[in-house]
Amino acid sequence: MEKTAESKLRATFFYRKSNFFRVVHADGATGGPTPDRKIMIAIFNQRSALPDMVEHVLTPDGRLGPEVARQTEHEGFIREVEVGIVMEPNTAKELAEWLQRQVRLLESTPVEKTSDQERKTQ
C-alpha cells in the first residue's frame, strides 16, 4: 500500500494470466454448496449431440455421395462442462453483484444498429 498526495491509502493489483487461462463460452451453470460450506459452480455450454459415425457412399469418380448411415451415442442435447469453480460465499456474493452491474451497464447502453452483414461490407 502507498499513500497518495490526498493521504488516502491505495492498493495496486497487477493481473497476470495463468498458464491455464482460457476464455470459455457459457450457456449456463450448475452446482451448489460443498460439504465444507463453499459454493461450487460448473460452467457449461450446450449444443446438439454430434454423431459418433457418419457413413457416405462414394460416387464412381471418388466424390462423397449421400449419407447412408449415422450412429449417435446420445439423442438430444449435450451440456459440456467447461470449468468448475469453488468459492467462498462472500466471493459468490461479490461475483453476483458484479454480474448484476455488468447487466445493468449493458441494458443502459444503446444497441448498435449496424447488422453483421453491413459491418462485413464496410
Q: Lowest mean pLDDT of 35-39, 89-93, 99-103, 111-115, name the range.
A: 111-115
pLDDT digits (tens, 9 = 90+) for 19-55: 999 999 999 999 999 999 999 999 999 999 888 999 9
Spatial CB neighbours of 97, under 8 Å, sequence gap ≥ 6: none
Contact predicate 44/60, CB 8 Å: no
Domain range list for the chain: 22-109
Distance CA 91, CA 95 (A): 6
Question: Which position has the higher pLDDT, 78 or 6?
Answer: 78
Cβ of 6: how many Cβ atoms within 10 Å?
Answer: 6
Distance CA 62, CA 93 (A): 60
Kindly report the pTM of this predicted structure: 0.65
